[in-house]
Amino acid sequence: MIKIPTKVLIVDDEKDFVEMFSLRLQEMGERVFTAHSGKECLDILERETIDVIVLDIKMPGMDGIETLREIKKRHPIIEVILLTGHGAIDTAVTGMKLGAYDYLLKPADAKEMTKKLEGARKRKDEQEDRIRKAEQRTLLRRGGNV
Amino acid sequence: MAETRLLLVDDETHFRSPLKKRLQKRGFTVFEAGNGDECQALMEKEPVDVVVLDVKMPGMSGIEVLAWIREHFVKTEVILLTGHASAADGVEGIKRGAFDYLTKPVEFDHLVQKINQALEKRRREEEKKHEAEFKARMEQQMVATERLASLGTLSTGIAHEIDNPLAIIKECAEYMRLLIGKTDAPAMPRKKDFENAIGKIETAIDRARRITHQLLGFVRQPETVFAETDLKVLISETVEFVNKEAQNKKVEVSQDVENAKGIIWSDPYAIRQVLINLITNALAAVASGGKITVSVRETDAFAEISVADNGTGIPKENLEKIFEPFFTTKPPGKGTGLGLYVTSGIVGRIGGKIDVSSRVGKGTIFQVTLPRTREACMVMGDNKDMCLDILDMIKGDQQND
């Protein structure tokens, strides 16, 4: 079976990290976009359709939580996985209350990351599926009323 | 004041004996010596507080006896008795460390007054010494506390900064592993060597990550949540948790909780963490066939959990250091030296205190004392204030329930 690539956007101000992480994800067959700041992330979201965002919480300027708020406001369907330092689990909890899919401690384990990416992708697919079905039903009902 | 011990040294019995009786009537415990040798023998057997010493004696002179006393009994005060015509002897005596001198014939009340003055001087000196010792101890403690605090801040800062480059190294290693593991990759020369090296990098990353996580975890713990906590259940859960490891090592972990109710208002997660840390430590300390006992003892004021092992024990010089961060006797990579540092931090956060006693070759006991009342907080040392705050909070919680 041919794998449908997940469109992942990595957002972190650590450029080397972003580069290596994206190389690995590409090697695994994902389609990867990168951004080094919250603003850059939002700009990319205007142009590209993204499935999952991996978002670092600690960034200069617009931080992860702020960026997350903006993402959820503009593109609620996109899933977000937060990257956090161990000392900031409470921030991760805040993030999940704001709608993030899950969080990972830095440095994250590759297997765990893959699992969470798959989970996030699956949740987004299912959500899109539900939306599609709901739309079909509204269409049908409308049709029946006419 | 406890009994005051006097020693009269004079070669004239008819002078000594009546003086002894009169001094005894004033409540002193009095000993007699007829010459310098007797005086030495007596003092070597039992120390005295004040010596009343005649200067002019056959054999050893009073000044010689004085020199001997100064050399061997620093704390003993000496009052010299001199002949009427030889005040110079008295002055000489004071120069050599006598408290004062009186000229014969001695007026009794005058002598008692002098004795009391000598005692007073002795008392003051002892007080001063105590004070100095206390101050030195306090200073030492403060230096240690401050050092720990700043060490903590510094190391968490470093831990944080290290996590980011660590994430990059990890990504690189994962990427390389992925590349050489690809089935469609062209045959790679010395692939095994590369895999081996990458494995080493990954192990080292995990080791570094364990350190940073433990450090950061200690400083910013999730909020403590207090609830009714059943120590007996917690202990049996924890023992269950480590049981497999214990069985592998053929170590018996027993619980002595029958006589305790074991219910306390505290943070069960914190206590569980403490128990796990202490029991795991005990497991590491005992040899195959060893024994670990977890027990609970309680009063209305305290609950006390002990973890005792019959393992290697901790040498005295290490006992004070075991709660410091990064102190470990294990080889590099085996222990972070953070376990007990974190454990004592957790115990402090729930208002308790942790004590250790150990004998090399016999074993070690760790005791965690958790307070139930305000009075109990008062003996918590450095954690007293925290303990009181927590009790206030608990009371609030219980009233809200």
- Tens digit of pLDDT for each residue in A87-136? 667 788 899 999 999 999 888 888 899 999 999 999 999 999 999 999 88
Residue B130 lies in a domain: no
What mean pLDDT do residues A63-69 have? 94
User: Is pLDDT at A146 greater than 60 in this prediction?
Assistant: no
Using the predicted structure, report yes or no on whether residue B184 has a pLDDT greater than 80: no
B162 touches chain A (CB under 8 A): no
**Is B56's pLDDT higher than 70?**
yes
Regarding whether B360 and B263 lie in a shared domain, the answer is yes
Strand partners, B264: B229
The answer to whether B202 touches A138, Cβ cutoff 8 Å, is: no
If you measure CA to CA, which chain A residue comes closest to B174?
A: A110
pLDDT band, residue B222 (cuts 50/70/90): low
Chain A residue with minimum CA distance to B185 = A27
A21 contacts in B (CB within 8 Å)?
171
| pLDDT greater than 60 at residue B174 | yes
Is residue B197 scored above 80 in pLDDT? yes
Query: Cα separation of B76 and B122, whole Å?
Result: 8
Residue, of B374 and B205, whose pLDDT is higher: B205
- By the 8 A CB rule, do B253 and B246 touch? yes
Contact map slice: A 26-55 vs B, CB within 8 A: 27-28
Number of folded domains that form chain B: 3
Residues B260 and B373 in one domain: yes
Contact A14 B164 (CB under 8 A): yes
- Rank A1-10, A35-44, B85-94 by mean pLDDT and report only the highest: A35-44
Of B60, B80, B106, the residue that ends a domain is B106
pLDDT digits (tens, 9 = 90+) for B350-390: 888 899 999 998 999 999 998 877 666 666 666 666 667 76
- What does pTM read for this prediction? 0.52
Greatest Cα pair distance in chain B:
118
CATH code of residue B362: 3.30.565.10
User: Mean pLDDT of all residues in chain B?
Assistant: 83
Whether residue B289 sits in one domain with residue B375 = yes
Cβ–Cβ gap B171/A21 under 8 Å: yes
Distance from CA of A67 to the nearest CA of B (A): 20
What DSSP string runs through B46-72? S--SEEEEES--SSS-HHHHHHHHHHH
Q: CA end-to-end span of chain B, whole Å? A: 54
Share of chain B above pLDDT 90, in %: 24
Say whether B168 and A14 touch across the interface (CB within 8 A): yes
Please name which of A109, A32, A86, A103 lies closest in space to residue B161, comparing C-alpha atoms. A86
Rounded to the nearest angstrom, the minimum Cα separation between A76 and chain B is 28
Q: Determine the Cα–Cα distance for residues B324 and B342; give it in Å rounded to an integer.
A: 9
B166 in contact with A, Cβ within 8 Å: yes
What's the pLDDT score for residue B401? 44
Tell me which chain A residues have a C-beta less than 8 angstroms from the C-beta of B199. Answer: none
The span from the CA of A82 to the CA of A91, in Å, is 10
Lowest mean pLDDT among A83-87, B143-147, B248-252, B328-332: B143-147
Establish how many alpha carbons lie within 13 A of residue A10's alpha carbon, considering only the half-sphere containing its beta carbon: 22
Contacts of B204 by beta carbon, 8 Å cutoff, 6+ apart: none
- Same domain? B254 vs B377: yes
pLDDT at B142 over 80: no
Task: Tell me which of A32-41, A125-134, B221-230 is least confident.
Answer: B221-230
Question: In terms of domains, do B317 and B378 share one?
Answer: yes
Give the CATH number, domain containing residue B77.
Answer: 3.40.50.2300
Which one is predicted more confidently, B91 or B384?
B91
pLDDT for the residue B150: 67
Which class is A7-145 in CATH? alpha beta
pLDDT tens per residue across span B34-55: 999 999 999 998 889 999 999 8
Q: Summarize the confidence of residues B88-94 as an average pLDDT.
A: 85
The bridge status of strand B363-371 relative to strand B353-359 is antiparallel
Compare all CA atoms of chain A with the CA of B175 and give the residue at the minimum distance: A24
Same domain, B266 and B196: no
Please report, in angstroms and rounded to a whole number, the separation of the first and last CA atoms in chain A: 43
Q: What is the mean pLDDT of residues B318-326?
A: 84
Q: Which residues pair with A10 in a beta bridge?
A: A34, A54
Q: Which residue has the tokens 């027990």?
A: B295
Give how far Cα B227 sits from Cα of A90, B265, B319, B370, Å: 21, 5, 33, 14
Considering the domain architecture, whether residues B330 and B304 belong to the same structural domain is answered as yes
Distance CA A33, CA B188 (A): 30
Could you tell me if B282 and B386 lie in one domain? yes
Nearest alpha-carbon partner for B81 in B97, B68, B62? B62
pLDDT in the model for residue B6: 93
Same domain, B31 and B179: no
Domain spans in chain A, listed from the N-terminal domain onward: 7-145
Q: Which phi and psi (to 5°) does residue A33 adopt?
A: -120, 150
For residues B39 and B79, state if they share a domain: yes
Q: Domain containing B178 — which CATH number?
A: 1.10.287
Does B158 contact chain A (CB < 8 Å)?
Answer: no
Q: Per-residue pLDDT tens for B97-139? A: 899 988 888 888 999 999 999 999 988 988 888 888 888 877 7
- SS3 for B387? helix
Do B205 and A16 make contact, defined as CB atoms within 8 angstroms? no
Q: Is B196 within a domain?
A: yes
In a domain, B123, yes or no: no
In a domain, B132, yes or no: no
Domain that residue B167 falls in: 144-219
Do residues A8 and A31 make contact, with C-beta atoms less than 8 angstroms apart?
yes
Confidence of residue B327 (pLDDT cuts 50, 70, 90): confident
Do B387 and B295 lie in one domain? The reply is: yes
